[in-house]
Structure 1
């Protein structure tokens, strides 16, 4: 009898990119027993090589590049017979688009902009969209002239005019391009039959899970790391997009988040912090479960500081260099520490080329504050357990997190942590093993770093407490056991294959 199967759906992470979610996924796929994992990896561009050695538990990797110049199926074969691909293009006529697709497309837009939303209606819309794209071509459909006309006319009812005077033609055109990209997974209808579709965020990667649910009755579960909608709102509000594009992104993201919570049978959070946001967006608390991230304490264990750093007050960070990690505040905190400890070293390990313009802003600030000898980007390192042993303390300055691995990894190495109070950090890091500070408060962060660097006895005491807390609460064995239990529970009862819902008039 074959093992139960799980379609693990990811965006911009495993197995082609690093980070906390990738670490989580790698642990899951390597350690959970008797599960056949299939990865559905959504990426900005086409990725040629995995950054991880994949477990034998992974039988298939489906990659969907969203933002490439060509379509995903121009790069990758998704198993659809050639004759059917050609036939779908031929069948996608003006008449078919106008009669079968346009009513659905209008309903989707009207739902997004409606102030009175019933989430079951959005489920029906996506069910019908999947059914349409089973027979007709995605690219030929969305490029059809009737789609632009319907898009323009529908938006005119909601946003054009006094309510939105800055909606230019280019803004509206970009909006349609975004919708085209967000919905691309609807073109990949040849989804493998699996028992569970496991989402790693409550955003647009929901679409392949919906297809599996509609096609096979596949159960859906969600693990929320950072809160997708919270981080999306932070990014949108900070962006320089005009009002129309901000509104479109927010409304569409909120709608898809609500649908993810509605469709999921189980909503796992890596921290209780997430559940407040999930409730705000309509999630049923009866579906909630907490599973903390776990690490191997035999890998992340106490050790000696490298000889070349002994006697040098050292702060280490393991962080991808981009806005959510707020490296600018970390740099400013270094300037605060330098006032008292002139030879302090901040060593930041992680991808510093992911967002080059942000890295440039960081380097400019380092120059401005004359920290060239104190604050250094070290690039990625393949053995993260060695990073924490280089430091007297570790630091995290993020403005948003789920339950960050870097905190519990550092704690397991008996290295105390100074972190911003975001996400689930306080569920791991209490006053016995480190300090939590207000986000963006360089003075408070720097002050606590200074306090720890100057007090070896306090550092050692906090380090011992930190490892003890990890051993009691955040081990890899505990993490894997809890996921095995959830998979077992969700597979016990199968939902019947859903019947095709009737088309509704959402206008």
Structure 2
């Protein structure tokens, strides 16, 4: 039951749709979610969280106006249900054939949404997952892949490719079976799989969908799959899914609130109407991130965040090796932990640090209870990511009055302005030159730190962010008519679309 003091109207209810973040994980997006819900105690919040196994513990203490989260595990065991038979199986497979064809044949792309909502109906009644684990579903993909008029056939997909791709699709489509939002506002805090219950809620109940992109989900999938271990046919199919899912989301969303202007370019390219996009910057409380105080006596670079390939710590470590060649006493302190399953990347970074120099020059400090310690630990705070939205660690460090060196990705340049140095991503030499320039010039560091804190106070406060979203929730609170998109899409309709 919602707390009794909450107003019982659609404008007072918000369902946050998350993937791999709040309330089961630390990180910038989770911090943002926590700030948002704590800043609006007069709203009732619900959370539908796409997770790994469903056994992840809560790592955030939820306020009383946040209901117990609903988890949607991607990689837990499949429900123990038998596959449908006869006409019921035929209905699933014909819609699934349309879905696959939309991702592989440009002439059929326009039916992606129709097929997706059709599959959602079948996911909610328990048919989809078991049907995708049948030989018939596998054969459908093999047959489409072997069509010589499709580009993917030139790669000669194998049966193993089809098994891999079918298994991955069964997992990524599991959020379609989640109970969709039925009232209020559905607020997806990223693109991708988190959006699926929101799309269904809009289609069934007319619930307005609000999309906030901190980073560009599709871009990050492109980056991840480029170096991933899947074969080209599998990547082609999955990236087709994520691309068309992004386009469907941009077209359905009542409002899109990117965290920076860079994201807006991707959204417009993906088909979002310019008038549906409104940039809302992340904010911090300057009182919670006061000036960090005296700098360390030893020249030190600090970094804070999640140890993940997208943060590109290897470039930072290589840059630091160049810094140490000029300043032998310099240190690099890395604050933050690796997500579950990401321990190998941390080990890889530690091995690189040992290879490039004395092991005690680079220290992995782990998570700290007070993030202020991480910013105070360095003369200069570093950010080396290859993809970002509007990074919290950067504006927090700026609020603490520290000079920064950051990579020119996402909204970094918008955040920093003239109050820090910005360098190209994946360029250790450029990063080292910028770090050395600041380490050798205390006066410049101090001036940049003062300018950075003033910039946060003037433009990027938490109060401004919360009030903006409060007004957006109130603006979107009036329900819109449900879109009759998937009604009647069974076997006959799918066959007609493919004819």
Same fold (TM over 0.5): yes
* Residue in structure 2 matched with residue 108 of structure 1 by the alignment: 99
Q: Deviations over 1:220-252 (max 9, x none)?
A: 110011101111111111223211111112111
Return the alpha-carbon distance in structure 1 between the equivalents of residues 339 and 257 of structure 2. Answer: 32
* Residue in structure 1 matched with residue 263 of structure 2 by the alignment: 274
Quote how far apart the aligned CAs of 1:450 are.
1.1
Return the alpha-carbon distance in structure 2 between the equivalents of residues 49 and 446 of structure 1. Answer: 39
Return the alpha-carbon distance in structure 1 between the equivalents of residues 482 and 472 of structure 2. Answer: 22
* Residue in structure 2 matched with residue 333 of structure 1 by the alignment: 319
Quote how far apart the aligned CAs of 1:272 are.
0.1
Residue 497 (structure 1) aligned with residue 478 (structure 2): no
Residue 2 (structure 1) aligned with residue 19 (structure 2): no
* Residue in structure 1 matched with residue 4 of structure 2 by the alignment: none
Residue 320 (structure 1) aligned with residue 326 (structure 2): no
Quote how far apart the aligned CAs of 1:347 are.
0.7
**1:7, 1:196 within 8 Å by CA — same for their partners in 2?**
yes
Quote how far apart the aligned CAs of 1:441 are.
1.0
The aligned runs of 1:219-230 (5 Å cut-off) are: 219-230=208-219
Return the alpha-carbon distance in structure 2 between the equivalents of residues 283 and 101 of structure 1. Answer: 30
Unaligned runs of 5+ in 2: 1-6
Which structure has more RCO (C-alpha within 8 Å, separation ≥ 6)?
A: 2
Size of the aligned set, in residue pairs, is 483
When residues 140 and 10 of structure 1 are mapped into structure 2, their CA distance, relative to the original with a 3 A threshold, is: same
Quote how far apart the aligned CAs of 1:322 are.
1.5
* Residue in structure 2 matched with residue 233 of structure 1 by the alignment: 222
Residue 26 (structure 1) aligned with residue 26 (structure 2): no
Return the alpha-carbon distance in structure 2 between the equivalents of residues 476 and 353 of structure 1. Answer: 26
- 154-163 vs 55-64, greater mean Cα deviation: 154-163
Return the alpha-carbon distance in structure 2 between the equivalents of residues 415 and 117 of structure 1. Answer: 52
**1:261, 1:282 within 8 Å by CA — same for their partners in 2?**
yes
Return the alpha-carbon distance in structure 2 between the equivalents of residues 289 and 299 of structure 1. Answer: 27
* Residue in structure 2 matched with residue 82 of structure 1 by the alignment: none
Secondary structure of 1:164 counterpart: helix
Match of 2:454 among 465, 468, 479: 468
Match of 1:483 among 444, 461, 469: 469
* Residue in structure 1 matched with residue 391 of structure 2 by the alignment: 404
Quote how far apart the aligned CAs of 1:445 are.
0.7
Match of 1:144 among 134, 146, 154: 134
Secondary structure of 1:506 counterpart: helix
**2:155, 2:232 within 8 Å by CA — same for their partners in 1?**
no
- 418-427 vs 231-240, greater mean Cα deviation: 231-240
When residues 458 and 93 of structure 1 are mapped into structure 2, their CA distance, relative to the original with a 3 A threshold, is: closer
Return the alpha-carbon distance in structure 2 between the equivalents of residues 232 and 397 of structure 1. Answer: 19
Quote how far apart the aligned CAs of 1:365 are.
1.2
Secondary structure of 2:345 counterpart: helix
* Residue in structure 2 matched with residue 208 of structure 1 by the alignment: 197
**2:141, 2:162 within 8 Å by CA — same for their partners in 1?**
no
**1:313, 1:345 within 8 Å by CA — same for their partners in 2?**
yes
Residue 97 (structure 1) aligned with residue 97 (structure 2): no
Q: Deviations over 1:155-183 (max 9, x none)?
A: 32268899434422111100000110011
The aligned runs of 1:306-385 (5 Å cut-off) are: 310-352=296-338, 354=340, 355-385=342-372
**2:89, 2:131 within 8 Å by CA — same for their partners in 1?**
no
When residues 148 and 414 of structure 1 are mapped into structure 2, their CA distance, relative to the original with a 3 A threshold, is: same
Quote how far apart the aligned CAs of 1:497 are.
3.1
- 18-27 vs 209-218, greater mean Cα deviation: 209-218
* Residue in structure 2 matched with residue 51 of structure 1 by the alignment: 59
Q: Deviations over 1:82-140 (max 9, x none)?
A: xxxxxxx58x6311333321211111011111213554x32222222223344443333
Return the alpha-carbon distance in structure 2 between the equivalents of residues 327 and 6 of structure 1. Answer: 36
**1:94, 1:144 within 8 Å by CA — same for their partners in 2?**
no
Match of 2:166 among 169, 172, 176: 176
**1:98, 1:146 within 8 Å by CA — same for their partners in 2?**
no
**2:146, 2:153 within 8 Å by CA — same for their partners in 1?**
no
Match of 1:196 among 169, 185, 204: 185
Secondary structure of 1:363 counterpart: helix
